Amino acid sequence: MNAFPISLVVFVCILGAFGFGFVVNARLPPHHLNADSKESLKQIVGMLSTMTALVLGLMVSSAKDSFDAKGSGIAEVATDIILLDRTMASYGRESTAARGLLKEGSEKSIAALWTKQGFQRSSLDRLDGGGAELAGVQTRLRALIPQNEMQREVQARAVSISADLARALWLIQFRKAGSLPAPFLGILISWLCIIFAGMGMVAPRNATVLAAAIAASFALAAGVFLIEELDTPHGGVIRISDTPLRIAIQQLGE
């Protein structure tokens, strides 16, 4: 989902609900808006506002955790790339071809995962750029014939790291999709609309109240925008950095 259109829909819906409350306020019979009725309505709105605030807080926390997990996945891949290269270097000259293939695959991974617009979406039926090269590295590692116990241990370690690297790459693919269900967001928006409609029914009809409602609608829409951006950091304003992978590539072959 795109964060900006969603936040725009939230803004329009909330402000529209407040306007609906304004209209209802003007058309209801006076006894429907007496002191007791307004007090009851305020209690209902207050209860729903508290529940909505708790849900929004949980959503922000969940989106931030998701963002951190995706960023950690990139750092894990970068770390595994460096460790694999260093481990293969300690094996000897026989691993030179595999190290070159690793660097080629790492560069393709960056090109495939990032564009000028940010972190790309892709299908889950394959590893993005670099997957074929990583498979080639694993094949070359298994084809090595250790000449002593040290090389045998290094080979086993390198194969293990390459498996961890492949796993981390697949996790990146699975984590590209947002973790926020659309029905959940729809229910939250409906709660906000009910709250603002209730507020519009009891609020005084003047420009100050309308300006406050517009500001509150904008703030809540911005909150939803932040949640969506954190939940899907493959593009948009808040993006995952490719710095760890670029630093890893600079370390390859040294």
The answer to whether 213 and 21 have CB atoms below 8 angstroms apart is no
How crowded is residue 83: how many other Cβ atoms within 10 Å of its Cβ? 17
pLDDT tens digits, one per residue of 55-91? 888 888 888 888 888 888 888 888 988 998 899 888 8
Domain that holds residue 76: 3-251
What was the pLDDT predicted at 177?
62
Q: Between these two residues, 54 and 125, which has the higher pLDDT value?
A: 54
Domain total of the chain: 1
With the CA atoms of 238, 242, 247 and 252 taken in that order, what torsion angle do they form, in degrees rounded to the nearest 10?
Answer: 170
- What is the pLDDT, as a whole number, of residue 121? 44
Residue 179 pLDDT > 70: no
List pLDDT tens digits, range 212-240. 999 999 999 999 998 888 887 766 677 78
Residue scoring higher pLDDT (200 or 111):
200
Query: Closest by alpha carbon to 92, among 152, 166, 164, 159?
Result: 152
Contact present, 90 and 154 (Cβ < 8 Å): yes
What are 221's two structure tokens? 């829409």
DSSP classification of residue 178: -
Q: What value does the mean pLDDT take over residues 156-162?
A: 91
pLDDT tier at 192 (50, 70, 90 boundaries)?
very high
